[in-house]
Copies of this chain bind each other. A is one copy, B any other.
Amino acid sequence: MTNTSIITIGDELLIGQVIDTNSAWMAQELNKAGIRVKRRVAVGDMADEIREALDQESVHADIILITGGLGPTADDITKPLLCDYFNGKLIVNEEALLNVKYLFEQVFKRALTDRNLRQAEVPDNCIVIPNKRGSAPGMWFEREGKIFVSMPGVPYEMKGMMEDDVIPSLIKRFSFPHIAHRTLVTFGVGESMIADMILDFETNLPAHIKLAYLPNYGMVRLRLTSSGTNADIVEKDINTYFSALQLLTQAFMITDKDEPMEQVLGHLLLQKNKTMCTAESCTGGYIAHLITSVPGSSAFYNGSVISYSYKAKEELLNVQEKTLLNKGAVSEEVVLEMVKGALNNVASDYAIAVSGIMGPNGGTPDKPVGTVWVAVGNNTKQVTRKFHFRFDRQRNIQLTAMNALNLLREFVIAD
């Protein structure tokens, strides 16, 4: 079995200043191509530690993919280090030089410095991988049957290289097993409960099929994975088991794809040829952001009013001043007026309205932090629900969004 290790280089990863989204993306794309990722390692900008990681990961894996440390500044040491590690010397690569000049003169429209020109130098013993989106070229080394590929840490530059060059070249080189994943998503049930619900199924799974539980924000994603050499058998096999899993979990399943709640709701609305809008107070645009992150969402989503102030609630959603004063902004009455105001002013078939206290401040004895009112509905009927979350601001915002979207999903299905 061919194994891959991903090495991410950068002090920023070890002091937590950035979140490593690169290796998740890389792992996803590699898996789709049947390339198994065995380990992921992050090390700092220190020569000894990078060398140690290169030595060690080449014991674990056949393919070592490296990102980071290729920038033009002094803390970027990956290129000279790899050059030395593979006993090469730096030479100017003409194609990379043309690319750097083109980028600075035509795209960035910034003065080209010596530092930028040095981006075009590469070890003489690597295959150069062109970088169409930035100035640092990628490098492909081979030693003792192991492949080492170094790419920039800038996500969209790395992604371009992986898609255009690295993955196609790896596929040509190796014969990877076929890997198939199928995922379904449940809402409103804990993972223990699901485990009991599907106990026999899970116990009797054959060895080459794995089941994973991924709980998050009231949802549990259940993922089946199968692998083998014959693609047809692998696909047929996983579909059989996946159908059985769907049947067992259907009472809680919101989708049989690995897709987020906002996309489930979007598909449902498109299917029914309906539109929606939102009126958000405490989630401050997060629900709108989730929905509009989906390409093509303008086909079912008309917009939102983010009413942080009383005035915005009154002016844009026609919430009555006396309701705000008598009931408070976090109340069933206010979210009902908000949802009606949104339906009317953003002119949609369905609407969601939320108002709550996300913390860390703003709680009162009768309305503690985590109190949320949600209303969903259409012009003829509205449904409300009160929630009590007990987490930090970020998690409260996310849980509110998920529950509000799910409430509308249920409403649309029943409608």
A residues adjacent to B (C-beta < 8 A): 11-21, 23-31, 36-45, 49, 52-53, 56, 60, 71-75, 107-108, 110-111, 113, 115-116, 154, 156, 181, 183, 190-196, 202, 210-216, 221, 223, 225, 258, 277-278, 280, 283-289, 291-293, 295-298, 301-309, 311-312, 315-316, 345-347, 359-361, 390-395, 397
Please tell me if the beta carbons of A40 and B13 are within 8 angstroms of each other in the complex. Answer: yes
Question: Contacts A27-B14, A38-B49, A346-B315: A215 and B71 contacting too (C-beta < 8 A)?
Answer: yes
Min distance, Cβ A212 to any Cβ of chain B, angstroms: 5
Subset of 24 A-B contacts with CB under 8 Å: A14-B39, A15-B31, A16-B23, A16-B24, A16-B30, A18-B24, A18-B214, A19-B24, A20-B23, A38-B44, A39-B43, A56-B56, A71-B213, A73-B194, A74-B195, A75-B211, A110-B190, A284-B297, A285-B285, A286-B292, A305-B306, A305-B316, A309-B346, A309-B347
Question: Contacts A15-B31, A286-B285, A392-B156: A303 and B309 contacting too (C-beta < 8 A)?
Answer: yes
Please tell me if the beta carbons of B26 and A16 are within 8 angstroms of each other in the complex. Answer: yes
Task: Specify which chain B residues have a CB less than 8 angstroms from the CB of A346 in the assembled complex.
Answer: 309, 311-312, 315-316
Task: Specify which chain B residues have a CB less than 8 angstroms from the CB of A285 in the assembled complex.
Answer: 280, 285-289, 292, 304, 306
Tell me the bound Cα distance from A41 to B192 in angstroms.
28
Please tell me if the beta carbons of B304 and A72 are within 8 angstroms of each other in the complex. Answer: no
Min distance, Cβ A190 to any Cβ of chain B, angstroms: 6
Task: Specify which chain B residues have a CB less than 8 angstroms from the CB of A308 in the assembled complex.
Answer: 292, 297-298, 301-303
Among B221, B283, B306, the residue within 8 A (CB) of A17 is B221
Task: Specify which chain B residues have a CB less than 8 angstroms from the CB of A312 in the assembled complex.
Answer: 277, 302-303, 345-347
Question: Contacts A40-B41, A285-B287: A108 and B16 contacting too (C-beta < 8 A)?
Answer: no
Please tell me if the beta carbons of B27 and A16 are within 8 angstroms of each other in the complex. Answer: yes
Please tell me if the beta carbons of B210 and A75 are within 8 angstroms of each other in the complex. Answer: yes
Please tell me if the beta carbons of A192 and B113 are within 8 angstroms of each other in the complex. Answer: yes
Tell me the bound Cα distance from A18 to B24 in angstroms.
7
- Copies of this chain, whole number: 2
Please tell me if the beta carbons of B13 and A27 are within 8 angstroms of each other in the complex. Answer: yes
Min distance, Cβ A97 to any Cβ of chain B, angstroms: 15
Question: Contacts A38-B44, A195-B73: A12 and B393 contacting too (C-beta < 8 A)?
Answer: no
Task: Specify which chain B residues have a CB less than 8 angstroms from the CB of A60 in the assembled complex.
Answer: 52
For the complex of A and B, the 10 pairs showing the least CB-CB separation, nearest first, are: A284-B292, A285-B288, A16-B28, A285-B285, A16-B27, A303-B312, A304-B306, A40-B42, A302-B309, A285-B289
Among B39, B44, B195, B258, the residue within 8 A (CB) of A42 is B39
Task: Specify which chain B residues have a CB less than 8 angstroms from the CB of A213 in the assembled complex.
Answer: 71, 73, 75
Tell me the bound Cα distance from A323 to B155 in angstroms.
38
Tell me the bound Cα distance from A307 to B285 in angstroms.
12
Min distance, Cβ A223 to any Cβ of chain B, angstroms: 7
Min distance, Cβ A295 to any Cβ of chain B, angstroms: 6
A286 and chain B: residue at smallest CB distance: B289
Min distance, Cβ A397 to any Cβ of chain B, angstroms: 7
Please tell me if the beta carbons of A284 and B291 are within 8 angstroms of each other in the complex. Answer: yes
Q: A289-B289, A303-B308 are in contact. List 20 more A-B contacts (CB 8 A).
A: A12-B212, A14-B31, A16-B30, A17-B28, A19-B21, A52-B60, A71-B215, A74-B211, A115-B196, A156-B391, A283-B292, A288-B288, A292-B308, A293-B394, A295-B359, A303-B312, A304-B305, A305-B305, A305-B306, A315-B345
Task: Specify which chain B residues have a CB less than 8 angstroms from the CB of A315 in the assembled complex.
Answer: 345-347
Tell me the bound Cα distance from A156 to B31 in angstroms.
29
